Amino acid sequence: MPSHMSSPQTPSPKKGGGKKALVAVPVTLAVVLGGAYFGGVYAFGQYFMPGTTLEGRDVSLKPLSEVAAEKDASYDGFETHVSGNGIDLTISASDVDLRCDGEAYAQSAISSVDPWAWPLEITRSHELTANESISFDRDKLVALIQPLIEQSAQAADATGASGITYNADQGAFVMSDDVVTQHLNLDAVVDRIASAFSARETEVTIGDECLDASDSLDAVLDAANAYLAATPELTLSGEKAYDLTKDMVASWVVIGEDLTVGLDEQAIADWCHGELSEKLDTVGTKRTYTRPDGKKFTVYDDRSNYNSDPYGSSVYGWSIDGEKTAQEIISCLKGGQPSTIEIPCLSTAASINPGGQDWPDRYIDVDIDAQHATFFDGGEVIWEADITTGQPSKHNDTPTGVWVVGANGGVMQEGDVNLRGPLDSSGNPEWDSHVNFWIPVVRNLVGFHNCPWQYEFGGDIYTYYGSNGCIRMSYESAEKLYDIVEMGDAVVIHKEP
């Protein structure tokens, strides 16, 4: 090898090259990390973070689109039953195009967690909630409800009904579903159902808050029920005489088309003169009783054998004053407070015993069939005598019934008592007799008296030699009776039919 040639030299590195390589590594790492971070920001804007529940349901790492799609379909097949105030129908989601905005719902939920803080947030659990945004076709819902309101209004017009009726089971006036629908506010009903859609209620009750006339209807109900609350107790002689019920009072309450509330006063008066009188009045009615001697009789007014009836109804027993009773009931009901009404009477009796003995234990029993009279006092016989009563063949029967000594102007007399009959066509009395004792029973027309022209009494004498209606007896019997009888004593005159 030539000596002038030298050995090849290794090139020396360029100045500063090692520093550039060292710089490239962290830049690359920063780019990678930045990409990963921003990728996470993007991803967690589209996917729910791990450890996330939404409305209690696990949605960890679920895509936003899936959750939105599930929410979109959440009303599929949904139905709600709407009832109350005359409405009764089932509405399905498809009837009114009811749906939920799933995308808005999912977006609202996912945005509640900051995706920019995902490195920290993925280490935590998240329990999310979100507001549903629903929509439906309001016009379609109106079309379902409006016909019901219109039908109710037509029914109310046809019947003149106010929408308030009496419910016997509740013992109160209530809103009637049959016609109260006419008072519904359509917008209020629709809003109530819309609220139910949002809450996913499957049962919806339309209450008074949806009524246009709620306040006035409440006032009408209060006024009508106040009459019921004032239902009085009816008594006779301090004893309960009739069970006046709320049902009956309700039948007297009148609710006008203009929602005014009042009482049918004529109906109350008619009831007092009718049903109440028929139940409580005993004057002239049939009454069955057992005499102290154990025999059972029925006393009643029998005028079937009279050419005319100059005597009228017998006088003893209860006879209520229907007019005054009605006024007291009306006054009580209008007062709004329950009270006890002692029924005003035209005549009274010793006890309340419809269909039975209501006269006192002191009375004279006149048995026409036996032709015998007995004076009882507390179950004891204090006087008795054979008698002769009116002659049936001459239509002069002694008037049966329960009478009172001295009633209607009759006056007891003793001495020379002149009994005169009605005037005949010549102007003369049909009879003119003198007796010693006169005890009037039917005004001054019929009474007990002695009979100087008759010597025997009892048996069947009355059938062929009877009186003109009076009750004849011997002098001794009449005298004893006159001494013990008192004005106002009851006289029960009876015979078998």
Predicted confidence at residue 158, as pLDDT, reads 61
Question: Is residue 21 predicted with pLDDT exceeding 70?
Answer: no
CA dist., res. 492 & res. 362, Å (int): 11
Residues 404 and 486 in one domain: yes
Place of tokens 């057992």: 290
Question: Is residue 17 predicted with pLDDT exceeding 60?
Answer: no
Which is more confident, 320 or 121? 320
Flag the least confident range among 218-222, 328-332, 400-404: 218-222
Residues 325 and 425 in one domain: no
Size (the chain), residues: 497
Predicted confidence at residue 202, as pLDDT, reads 94
Predicted confidence at residue 105, as pLDDT, reads 85
Note whether residue 54 is domain-resident.
Answer: no
Residues 368 and 459 in one domain: yes
Note whether residue 358 is domain-resident.
Answer: no
In this structure, what CATH number is given to the domain that contains residue 400?
2.40.440.10
Note whether residue 208 is domain-resident.
Answer: yes
pLDDT tens digits, one per residue of 340-394: 999 999 999 999 998 999 999 999 999 999 999 999 999 999 999 999 999 999 9
Note whether residue 415 is domain-resident.
Answer: yes
Note whether residue 107 is domain-resident.
Answer: no
Pair of tokens at residue 7: 């050995």
Residues 205 and 237 in one domain: no
CA distances 79 to 94, 203, 207, 289, 489, Å, are: 9, 9, 20, 71, 81
Q: What is the DSSP string of 171-230?
A: TEEEE-TTTGGGGB-HHHHHHHHHHHHHHT-SEEE--GGGBTTHHHHHHHHHHHHHHHHT
Residues 375 and 416 in one domain: yes
Predicted confidence at residue 215, as pLDDT, reads 63
Split at pLDDT 50, 70, 90, the class of 262 is very high
Residues 194 and 240 in one domain: no
Q: Which of 259, 255, 249, 251 is nearest to 228 (CA)?
A: 249
Provide the pairing of β-strand 134-135 with 340-342: unpaired
- CB-facing half-sphere around the CA of 267: CA atoms within 13 A: 10
Q: Which residues contact 270 (CB under 8 A, 6 or more apart)?
A: none
Domain endpoint, select from 212, 235, 267: 212
Predicted confidence at residue 19, as pLDDT, reads 61
Mean pLDDT to the nearest integer, 412-424: 89
CA dist., res. 467 & res. 231, Å (int): 53
Number of H helices, E strands in the chain: 13, 28
Which is more confident, 208 or 358? 358
Question: Is residue 229 predicted with pLDDT exceeding 90?
Answer: yes
DSSP state of 63: B
Mean pLDDT to the nearest integer, 11-24: 58
Q: What does pLDDT average to over the chain?
A: 89
Split at pLDDT 50, 70, 90, the class of 13 is low
Mean pLDDT to the nearest integer, 229-242: 94
Cβ-based neighbour number of residue 460 at 10 Å:
10
Mean pLDDT to the nearest integer, 432-442: 96
Contact, 130 vs 227, CB < 8 A? Answer: no
Predicted confidence at residue 38, as pLDDT, reads 86
Domain endpoint, select from 168, 186, 212: 212
Number of domains in the chain: 3
Residues 326 and 444 in one domain: no
Domain endpoint, select from 195, 212, 229: 212
Q: Which of 283, 480, 471, 478 is nearest to 365 (CA)?
A: 471
Contact, 350 vs 359, CB < 8 A? Answer: yes
Predicted confidence at residue 23, as pLDDT, reads 62
Whether 449 sits among the annotated catalytic residues: the reply is: yes
Flag the least confident range among 37-51, 146-160, 266-280: 146-160
Flag the least confident range among 149-163, 212-226, 272-286, 352-366: 149-163
Q: What is the dihedral angle through the alpha carbons of 186, 190, 195, 199, rounded to the nearest 10 degrees?
A: 130
Split at pLDDT 50, 70, 90, the class of 309 is confident
Residues 191 and 86 in one domain: yes
Q: Alpha helix locations (H) across 99-185?
A: 102-110, 118-121, 138-159
Contact, 287 vs 358, CB < 8 A? Answer: yes
Mean pLDDT to the nearest integer, 233-238: 94
Question: Is residue 225 predicted with pLDDT exceeding 90?
Answer: yes
Split at pLDDT 50, 70, 90, the class of 14 is low
Question: Is residue 423 predicted with pLDDT exceeding 90?
Answer: no
pLDDT tens digits, one per residue of 385-416: 999 999 999 999 999 999 999 988 899 999 99
Residues 447 and 432 in one domain: yes
Residues 392 and 340 in one domain: no
Residues 425 and 468 in one domain: yes
Catalytic residue among 126, 183, 470, 494: 470
Mean pLDDT to the nearest integer, 296-316: 88
Pair of tokens at residue 18: 């090692």
Note whether residue 120 is domain-resident.
Answer: no
Predicted confidence at residue 12, as pLDDT, reads 53
Predicted confidence at residue 15, as pLDDT, reads 53
CA dist., res. 233 & res. 248, Å (int): 13
Mean pLDDT to the nearest integer, 43-55: 88
Predicted confidence at residue 1, as pLDDT, reads 42
What percent of the chain shows pLDDT beyond 90?
Answer: 57
Mean pLDDT to the nearest integer, 107-116: 87
- Helices 102-110 and 64-72 cross at an angle (nearest 10°) of 140
Question: Is residue 121 predicted with pLDDT exceeding 90?
Answer: no
Mean pLDDT to the nearest integer, 89-95: 92
pLDDT tens digits, one per residue of 149-179: 888 777 766 655 667 889 999 999 987 776 7
Catalytic residue among 100, 449, 451, 494: 449
* Strand ranges inside 243-322, DSSP E: 253-255, 261-263, 287-290, 296-299, 319-320
- Rounded to 5 degrees, φ, ψ at 261 are -120, 130
Question: Is residue 5 predicted with pLDDT exceeding 50?
Answer: no
Question: Is residue 87 predicted with pLDDT exceeding 50?
Answer: yes
What percent of the chain shows pLDDT beyond 70?
Answer: 93
Classify burial at 442, counting beta carbons within 10 Å of its beta carbon; exposed 0-12, middle 13-18, buried 19 or more: buried
Contact, 299 vs 286, CB < 8 A? Answer: yes
Question: Is residue 289 predicted with pLDDT exceeding 60?
Answer: yes
Residues of 63-81 as b/e, b for ≥16 C-beta within 10 angstroms?
Answer: ebeebbebbbebbeebebe
Full domain range(s) for residue 467: 363-494
Note whether residue 121 is domain-resident.
Answer: no
Mean pLDDT to the nearest integer, 13-39: 69
Residues 83 and 208 in one domain: yes
Whether 470 sits among the annotated catalytic residues: the reply is: yes
Note whether residue 476 is domain-resident.
Answer: yes
Tell me the whole-structure pTM to 2 decimals.
Answer: 0.66
Predicted confidence at residue 422, as pLDDT, reads 80
